[in-house]
Amino acid sequence: ATGLMAGKRGLIMGLANNRSIAWGIAKQLHAQGAELAFSYQGEALKRRVEPLAAEVGSDFLVECDVSDEAAMDETFRQIKDKWGSIDFVVHAIGFSNKEELEGRYIETSRDNFALTMDISVYSFTAVAKRAEPLMNPGGALLTLTYYGAVKYVPNYNVMGVAKAALEASVRYLAVDLGKKGIRVNGISAGAIKTLAASGISGLRDMLHWQEANSALRKNVSIDDVGGAATYLLSDLAGGVTGEIHYVDAGFNVVGMKLLDDNST
Ligand code: NAD
């Protein structure tokens, strides 16, 4: 293979279908010569993930529910058996009960708070812990976050609190793994209509607001995220770690509703 990622092998976690952010990332990594493995949440998703993996030249699939410690161990055992080492892991996983992604944050239940933190935050640390012994120097980990971590976004609720913790995890993991030359970063993606995002009440309004009020006056695509992800996972980003990199068409730099007149 040729390209930016030639000779690099990595695991993509969180592919559900061809609208997944993980798919946008996988396509770009493949185009740049990376060899890919995929983990998927449950047997039901296998049917969707298998043909997509084949499209990017992979038949290395592992079932892994990240709330299951044994499944996590098994995933990295299989990577070790098959590859011996690994160069990167993409963590594109999040979950919260839909009923709590609307209305007031204050109503969050203890159970869903714990579940959301477990799946959306702890799992990244659990992945890092298992990837560390398999990673070559120059290795990289990447997770996906959202602006609702740093500002109030209607209906994002407990997921925003979880993403704030995930972003903090990126910084702590970056220092833990920095000694070994392993980099850890997050991409803060603009809202994109995916399966997970469809669980957020008022997604349509979020997309319209973002399109009208971002610097580029557009919504981002999974391919936009894939491009930035490939850079962060490649040696081009050898000096970049602990960062949250916004891929949001410049939405986060705008402080007020854009006045759509000739002055702007
Ligand atoms: P998606 O539904 O395509 O992907 C979410 C994935 O999480 C699915 O593959 C699902 O199987 C997986 N998952 C959930 N619970 C799991 C578990 N217990 N074990 C293993 N896997 C599990 O949606 P997406 O939007 O591509 O989400 C990917 C990541 O991007 C998430 O972290 C999400 O919060 C983040 N993100 C999404 C947006 C957006 O607007 N779509 C914006 C910023 C960040």
**What does the alpha-carbon distance between residue 15 and residue 192 come to, in Å, rounded to a whole number?**
15
| 21 annotated ligand-binding residue | yes
Token code pair at residue 16: 């559900």
Task: Decide if 152 is catalytic.
Answer: no
Whose tokens are 């120097």? That residue is 137
Is the pLDDT at 263 greater than 80? The verdict is no
Q: Whose CA is nearest to atom 13 of ligand 1?
A: 93
**What are the structural domains, with CATH classification, of the chain?**
9-247 (3.40.50.720)
Q: For residues 91, 237, 242 and 80, what is the CA-based torsion angle, rounded to 10 degrees?
A: 40
Nearby residues of 100 by Cβ (< 8 Å), 6 or more positions away:
107, 108, 109, 112, 116, 157, 158
Calculate mean pLDDT across residues 122-127. Answer: 98
| 59 annotated ligand-binding residue | no
Is the pLDDT at 201 greater than 90? The verdict is no
The secondary structure of residue 85, as a DSSP letter, is S
Q: Looking at residue 262, what is its pLDDT?
A: 59
Is the pLDDT at 260 greater than 80? The verdict is no
3-class DSSP state of 147: helix
Q: Looking at residue 167, what is its pLDDT?
A: 99
Q: Looking at residue 78, what is its pLDDT?
A: 98
Q: Looking at residue 231, what is its pLDDT?
A: 98
- pLDDT tens digits, one per residue of 232-244: 999 999 999 999 9
**Is residue 53 in contact with ligand 1, taking CB distance under 6 Å?**
no
CA-wise closest residue to 16 among 35, 40, 37, 38: 40
**Is residue 94 in contact with ligand 1, taking CB distance under 6 Å?**
yes
Q: What separation in angstroms does the CA of 28 have from each of 56, 94, 130, 229?
A: 9, 21, 25, 8
Q: Looking at residue 163, what is its pLDDT?
A: 98
Is the pLDDT at 225 greater than 70? The verdict is yes
Calculate mean pLDDT across residues 86-111. Answer: 97
Calculate mean pLDDT across residues 77-83. Answer: 98
Calculate mean pLDDT across residues 242-248. Answer: 98
Is the pLDDT at 261 greater than 80? The verdict is no
Would you say 42 and 16 are in contact if contact means Cβ atoms under 8 Å apart? no
Q: Looking at residue 195, what is its pLDDT?
A: 95
Q: Whose CA is nearest to atom 23 of ligand 1?
A: 196
Task: Decide if 147 is catalytic.
Answer: no
Q: 125-141 burial string, b = 16+ CB within 10 Å, else e?
A: bbbbebbbebbeeebbb
CA of 162 to the centre of ligand 1 (A): 13
Q: Looking at residue 1, what is its pLDDT?
A: 75
Least confident of 17-21, 43-47, 117-121: 43-47
**Is residue 144 in contact with ligand 1, taking CB distance under 6 Å?**
yes
Of the listed 40, 147, 156, 231, which one is catalytic?
156
pLDDT band of residue 52 (cuts 50, 70, 90) is: very high
Could you tell me if the ipTM is greater than 0.95?
yes
**Is residue 195 in contact with ligand 1, taking CB distance under 6 Å?**
yes
Q: Looking at residue 200, what is its pLDDT?
A: 87
Is the pLDDT at 93 greater than 90? The verdict is yes
Of the listed 40, 146, 147, 231, which one is catalytic?
146
Calculate mean pLDDT across residues 146-172. Answer: 98
Average pLDDT over the chain reads 96
Would you say 169 and 94 are in contact if contact means Cβ atoms under 8 Å apart? no
**What does the alpha-carbon distance between residue 124 and residue 224 come to, in Å, rounded to a whole number?**
22
pLDDT > 90 fraction of the chain, expressed in percent and rounded = 95
Q: Looking at residue 2, what is its pLDDT?
A: 87
Q: What does residue 140 show for φ and ψ, rounded to 5 degrees?
A: -150, 145
Instruction: Note the pTM of the prediction, 2 decimals.
Output: 0.98
